[in-house]
Amino acid sequence: MAGIGFELRRLSARRDYTGQLQAYASAAVVSAGPWIISIVSLMIATWLLDSILRPDDLRLLTSSITHVYAFALVITGPIQLVLTRHAADCFSEKQRGAIFPSLLGSLFLTAALSGAAGGWFFLTQVPAPPLYQAAAGALLVHVAGIFIISTYLSALRHYTRIVVAFFAGYAVSVLAAYFLAKEHGLTGAILGFLGGHFLIAVMLLYFVYAEFGRGRGSCFGFLRAFTRFPDLMLCGLFYNLAIWIDKFLFWWFSQSNVQIAGALHAAPDYDFAIYLSLLSIAPGMAVFFLQVETAFAERFHEYFDAVKEGRPLREITSARHAIMVSLREGFIRLLKVQGFTTVVLVVFADHLTSWFHIGYVQTGIFRITLFGALLLVMFLSALTVLFYLDDRRGALWCSLVFLLGNATLSIITLRENEAWYGFGFVVAAGFALLLAASRVNRHLAELDFRTFCVSTR
């Protein structure tokens, strides 16, 4: 537990409503901020630009940005988990000076990968003005960079800076896109988004630098972690690909898919409904992130401190029981908050979707995928616990099952009518959750054995 974990613990210790609200708000921003704020900002920008851009240009813009975020998550997924483990090892080995150089090296690697992918896709596969193509490719580089920098955000102590960076950056994105679109149309809009994301990247990079300093050591020393933890790399790839595989399939093979421009496709009936449902995960992610970074992390470290200090078996067993109690409380709280949120949104779905002027097909998909979002946030929470317990193989298998299940079941539902859209995502997330929960239960039951026997082999 580092950085924001200490701040969250301080806020949680306060019994007043202000402290609790600040704790949950900061946990929500760190755990789901980039994802949630990006979706909201794109919705607001679409609404503002609707009266400025031609419908075809607006669809091209929104589809391009959606593809940018999809590609960025898939590209950075394998890097983020390895970087997280590398940073954790640097903390435990008292090598804070290696943090910032590894960030710079990972940004260089990410820029090369995302630049190559973005350049090929937008310059060769998307017919558009050259400046628009270049700006879309550059946007992919910046979004991927933001995801990489976000890996270190939980280590920062000043959570308010993170909030300011994201809100300021996305506000600039929306406003700059609006005003530039008035003068330069479609190209101005994408340049506005690029400017806002550049601001976010610069601010976050400065905050990490201010926390850790320039440091010393090789910028590419973190690459050794890829050979040590290939399972983490694959887990990051499988999980992020699993999140997007149903969207890719619907873009290309659904009955309602639309070709926007060249290789850019969309599935209007499916896209907006599932993006809207994914916004609902913010409360659940905030609740569980707060629990993990405070009570669970404290109990976890107390257990291993007891082991290292050679305390009596009774104290070690009591510490393990405290871990299980903390985890149980976290999942119960998550289920209550996210379950309540899901039920409320399902009941009032008609009123909510009427604000966005979407039809009954999208409303039905929205209701279905709300349950998928509930299962997804619980699966992600269980996956986080597996990483804490260093069950990398279990996390890898769970992510692979989620990927294969979402792909297979989405293909099956695509063969049916719109009434089945979204069920593949829901069932895949549910099955992956069951597998992850069983791994967590087994690992906790065997924690003493794994600590004393397996680690000494």
Q: What gap in Å lies between CA 421 and CA 409, rounded to an integer? A: 10
* DSSP, residue by residue, 137-161: HHHHHHHHHHHHHHTTGGG-S-HHH
- Backbone φ and ψ for 358, nearest 5 degrees, come out as -110, 155
Q: Are 273 and 293 in contact (CB under 8 A)?
A: no
Q: What gap in Å lies between CA 248 and CA 70, rounded to an integer? A: 9
DSSP 3-state of 39: helix
- Identify the sign of the CA torsion 245, 240, 8, 28: negative
The winner for highest mean pLDDT among 3-17, 308-322, 358-372 is 358-372
Residue of 356, 374, 217, 371 whose CA lies nearest to 281: 374
Average pLDDT in the 181-199 region?
Answer: 94
pLDDT tens per residue across span 52-83: 999 999 999 999 999 999 999 999 999 999 99
Residue of 272, 267, 275 whose CA lies nearest to 250: 267
Cα atoms found within 13 Å of the Cα of residue 18, Cβ hemisphere only: 0
On the question of pLDDT at 177 being above 90, the answer is yes
Average pLDDT in the 171-200 region?
Answer: 94
What percentage of the chain exceeds 70 in pLDDT? 92
What percentage of the chain exceeds 90 in pLDDT? 49
Q: What gap in Å lies between CA 433 and CA 381, rounded to an integer? A: 9
Q: What gap in Å lies between CA 63 and CA 77, rounded to an integer? A: 21
User: Where does residue 152 rank: exposed (0-12), middle (13-18), buried (19+ CB within 10 A)?
Assistant: buried
What is the predicted pLDDT for the residue at 72? 94
On the question of pLDDT at 383 being above 50, the answer is yes
Average pLDDT in the 229-253 region?
Answer: 94
On the question of pLDDT at 29 being above 70, the answer is no
What is the predicted pLDDT for the residue at 11? 66
Q: What gap in Å lies between CA 244 and CA 421, rounded to an integer? A: 15
| In the block, residue with structure tokens 């539902």 | 413
Q: What's the token pair of residue 65?
A: 């940005």
What is the predicted pLDDT for the residue at 205? 92
Q: What gap in Å lies between CA 64 and CA 70, rounded to an integer? A: 10
What is the predicted pLDDT for the residue at 290? 79
On the question of pLDDT at 332 being above 80, the answer is yes
What is the predicted pLDDT for the residue at 388? 85
160-169, 176-185, 383-392, 417-426: segment of lowest average pLDDT? 160-169
What residue type is 188 in one-letter code?
G
75-84, 313-322, 364-373: segment of lowest average pLDDT? 313-322
Q: What gap in Å lies between CA 23 and CA 163, rounded to an integer? A: 12
116-125, 158-167, 299-308: segment of lowest average pLDDT? 158-167
Rounded to 5°, angle at Cα 253 from 248 and 258: 85
Residue of 114, 184, 144, 189 whose CA lies nearest to 34: 144
What is the predicted pLDDT for the residue at 329? 87
Q: What's the token pair of residue 342?
A: 């899901």
Residue of 299, 342, 345, 287 whose CA lies nearest to 447: 299
| In the block, residue with structure tokens 């790839």 | 237
DSSP 3-state of 305: helix
What are residue 264's DSSP bridge partners?
Answer: 261
Angle between helices 282-291 and 313-347 (to 10 degrees): 170
Secondary structure tally for the chain: helices H, strands E = 17, 2
On the question of pLDDT at 156 being above 80, the answer is no
Rounded to whole angstroms, what are the CA distances from 386 to 74, 441, 454? 21, 10, 16
Q: What gap in Å lies between CA 201 and CA 143, rounded to an integer? A: 8
What are residue 266's DSSP bridge partners?
Answer: 258
**In terms of pLDDT, which residue wins out, 4 or 233?**
233
Average pLDDT in the 129-146 region?
Answer: 96
Q: What gap in Å lies between CA 277 and CA 162, rounded to an integer? A: 25
What is the predicted pLDDT for the residue at 222? 84
* Pairing verdict, β 258-261 and 264-266: antiparallel
